[in-house]
């Protein structure tokens, strides 16, 4: 019986009846028949004394038949039960197949329970940079190789309602916690996030560091928070055509990664972003996105300092200047992607009431940026970056994707900040930077980038002069899971 054909898998659904028929045929074909039995069987099939013939069989023979049929029936039930719990049965019934790989490598190391109620992923990314500053006669920056980011990402899900993310970073020789939050998911339209995360401000800030068009973010990122702790509601409507976020946060100065509050005031922040043609048949407009974000609150204490794209601090307030009152931000933003072409732009205004001794003033700092990119290999680009259609490797036989990018950005500090709250001989009033970059996406995981950024300043030197231009060359090797 063990070698019979009825034990081998057959296409389609196995039923108890079909299994039993195959088993019965196998059993009787393998049993030796006594002389004359064929005639008796024929007589039974012809209706002549068939029933009486069976009843007259001996007791041992009836016991053998009963035992064999019990074995066949038992094996049939077991086989049918095995089929019912298989992925094929789930698909035929219209349900989702149960995971067949509780542990797998897919954008990181993933673990999940058989029912999918518990999931956990270990991932991350590494960015190894080389920063070189040309014509730096005043030695305002240092040429260096560095680990810009070495970020571990731990994500999980419980009962398909609770998600969490913990993400520490070990780049630049220090340990910093960037994300630590829990999401309570009601549906796609409403999710409640609690913990440390990005506030809903800054189009380029909200973009993952692995998907940036150029190596470093532009100057407007100086005017929005890096991370903040709080509670925010967010979701997507109309199948992703509209996204929103609104929350209450501790409130941090511009560009700061905050862990706790320094005063009793809290900031409110909100963002709405629309992709009006996302679900339309107009392919040329599906990649258009428009939005606006803002924040408001009250702050006391330390003020922000601003950095160039080369990550060199170029503007600082005077030591005795501090925040003391209302803080607001406004941030209109937009992008457009079609095929291999991409455009991104945003404007940020950050206003803060500050004081220095008896002097008080609201300072309004403004910044804007515009980025254009072209994937010359023809691959599609989006806000989520570039994934080459033909990755480099022996399996796909491609060369990856090659992207060219151009950007201009500027930041202007309010004239009212000088000289009472900032030193015009040490901190420029304005910075303007243009950059060129090329990215080679070998595959989803590996990217090589080269960027040249030239920043010019207005003010920031003795006797009303201008700070020396920053001409920076960035190299980056990025690996992500």
Number of C-beta neighbours around residue 36 at 10 A: 8
At 54, is the pLDDT very low, low, confident or very high (cuts 50, 70, 90)?
A: very low
pLDDT at site 95? 53
* Torsion sign, CA atoms 411, 416, 417, 423: positive
Whether the link from the prior residue into 57 is cis, omega within 30° of 0, is no
Q: Tens of pLDDT along 292-320?
A: 999 999 999 999 999 999 999 999 999 99
Find the distance separating the first CA and the last CA of the chain, reported in whole Å.
Answer: 50
pLDDT at site 101? 75
At 15, is the pLDDT very low, low, confident or very high (cuts 50, 70, 90)?
A: very low
pLDDT at site 350? 99
| Mean pLDDT calculated for residue range 79-107 | 58
Contact 438, 405 (CB under 8 A): yes
Number of C-beta neighbours around residue 91 at 10 A: 11
Domain ranges of the chain: 5-92, 124-148+210-220+250-480
At 105, is the pLDDT very low, low, confident or very high (cuts 50, 70, 90)?
A: confident
Q: Tens of pLDDT along 364-384?
A: 999 999 999 999 999 999 999
Q: Which of 62-76, 159-173, 334-348, 420-434 has the lowest mean pLDDT?
A: 62-76
Q: Which of 16-20, 258-262, 416-420 has the lowest mean pLDDT?
A: 16-20
Q: What percent of the chain has pLDDT over 90?
A: 75
Q: What is the 3-state secondary structure (H, E, C) of the chain?
A: CCCCHHHCCCCCCCCHHHHHHHHHHHHHHHCCCCCCHHHHHHHHHCCCCHHHHHHCCCHHHHHHHHHHHHHHHHHHHHHHHHHHCCHHHHHHCCCCCCCCCCEEECCCEEEECCCCCEEEEEEEEEEEEEEEEECCCCCCCCCEEEEEEEEEEEEEEECCCEEEEEEEECHHHCCEEEEEEEEEEEECCEEEEEEEECCCCCHHHHCCHHHCCCCCCCHHHHHCCCEEEEEEEEEEECCCCEEEEEEEECCCCCCCECCCCCCCCCEEEEEEEECCCCCCCCHHHCCEEEEEEEEEEEEEECCCCEECCCCCEEECCCCCCEEEEEEEEEEEEEEEEECCEEEEEEEEEEEEEEEECCEEEEEEEEEEEEEEEEECCCCCEECCEECCCCCECCCCCECCEEEEEEEEEEEECCHHHCCCCCCCCCCCCEEEEEEEEEEEECCCCEEEEEEEEEEEEECECHHHCECCCEEEEEEEEEEEC
N residues, the chain: 481
What distances in angstroms separate CA 269 from CA 47, 297, 335, 354, one per listed residue? Answer: 89, 9, 21, 21
pLDDT above 50 for 391: yes
Mean pLDDT of the chain: 86
CA atoms within 13 A on the CB side of 184: 6
CA distance 410 to 413: 10
Q: Tens of pLDDT along 130-154?
A: 999 999 999 999 999 999 999 999 9
Q: What percent of the chain has pLDDT over 70?
A: 79
At 19, is the pLDDT very low, low, confident or very high (cuts 50, 70, 90)?
A: very low
Contact 188, 236 (CB under 8 A): yes
pLDDT: which is higher, 100 or 125: 125
Q: Tens of pLDDT along 234-261?
A: 999 999 999 999 999 999 999 999 999 9
Number of C-beta neighbours around residue 134 at 10 A: 12
Contact 270, 293 (CB under 8 A): yes
Q: Tens of pLDDT along 190-233?
A: 999 999 999 999 999 999 999 999 999 999 999 999 999 999 99
């Amino acid at each position: 019986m063990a070698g019979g054909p009825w034990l081998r898998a057959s296409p389609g659904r196995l039923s108890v009846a079909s299994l039993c028929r195959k088993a019965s045929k196998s059993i009787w074909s393998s049993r030796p028949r006594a002389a004359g039995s064929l005639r008796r069987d024929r007589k039974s099939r012809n209706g002549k004394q068939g029933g009486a013939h069976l009843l007259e069989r001996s007791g041992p023979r009836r016991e053998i038949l009963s035992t064999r049929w019990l074995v066949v029936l038992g094996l049939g039930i077991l086989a049918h039960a095995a089929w019912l719990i298989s992925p094929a049965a789930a698909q035929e019934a219209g349900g989702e197949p149960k995971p067949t790989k509780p542990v797998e490598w897919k954008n990181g190391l993933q673990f999940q329970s058989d029912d999918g109620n518990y999931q956990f992923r270990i991932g991350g990314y590494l960015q190894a940079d080389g920063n070189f500053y040309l014509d730096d006669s005043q030695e305002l920056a240092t040429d260096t190789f560095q680990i810009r980011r070495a970020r571990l990402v731990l994500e999980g899900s419980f009962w398909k309602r609770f998600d969490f993310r913990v993400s520490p970073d070990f780049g630049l020789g220090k340990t910093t916690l960037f994300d630590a939050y829990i999401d309570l998911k009601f549906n796609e339209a409403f999710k409640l996030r609690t913990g440390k995360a990005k506030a809903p401000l800054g189009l380029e800030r909200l973009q993952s560091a692995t998907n940036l068009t150029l190596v470093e973010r532009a100057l407007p990122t100086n005017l929005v928070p890096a991370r903040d702790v709080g509670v925010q509601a967010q979701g997507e409507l109309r199948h992703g055509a509209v996204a929103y976020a609104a929350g209450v946060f501790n409130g941090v100065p511009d560009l700061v990664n905050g862990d706790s509050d320094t005063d009793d005031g809290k900031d409110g922040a909100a963002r709405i972003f629309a992709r009006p043609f996302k679900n339309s048949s107009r392919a040329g407009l599906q990649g258009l996105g428009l939005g606006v974000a803002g924040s408001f609150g009250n702050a006391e204490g330390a003020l922000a300092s601003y950095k160039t794209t080369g990550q060199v601090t170029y503007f600082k307030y005077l030591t005795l200047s501090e925040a003391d009152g209302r803080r607001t931000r406004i941030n209109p933003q937009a992008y457009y992607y079609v095929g291999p072409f991409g455009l991104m732009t945003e404007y940020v205004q950050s206003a803060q009431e500050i004081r220095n001794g008896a002097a008080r003033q609201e300072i309004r700092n403004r910044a804007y940026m515009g980025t254009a990119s072209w994937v010359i290999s023809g691959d599609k680009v989006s806000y989520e970056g570039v994934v080459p259609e033909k990755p480099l490797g022996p399996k796909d036989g491609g060369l990856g994707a090659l992207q060219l990018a151009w950007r201009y950005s500027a930041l202007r500090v309010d004239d009212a900040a000088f000289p009472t709250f900032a030193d015009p001989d040490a901190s420029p009033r304005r910075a303007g930077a243009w950059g060129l970059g090329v990215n080679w996406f070998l595959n989803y995981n590996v990217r090589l980038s080269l960027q040249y950024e030239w920043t010019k300043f207005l003010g920031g030197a003795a006797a009303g002069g201008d700070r020396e231009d920053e001409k920076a060359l960035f190299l980056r090797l990025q690996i992500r899971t």
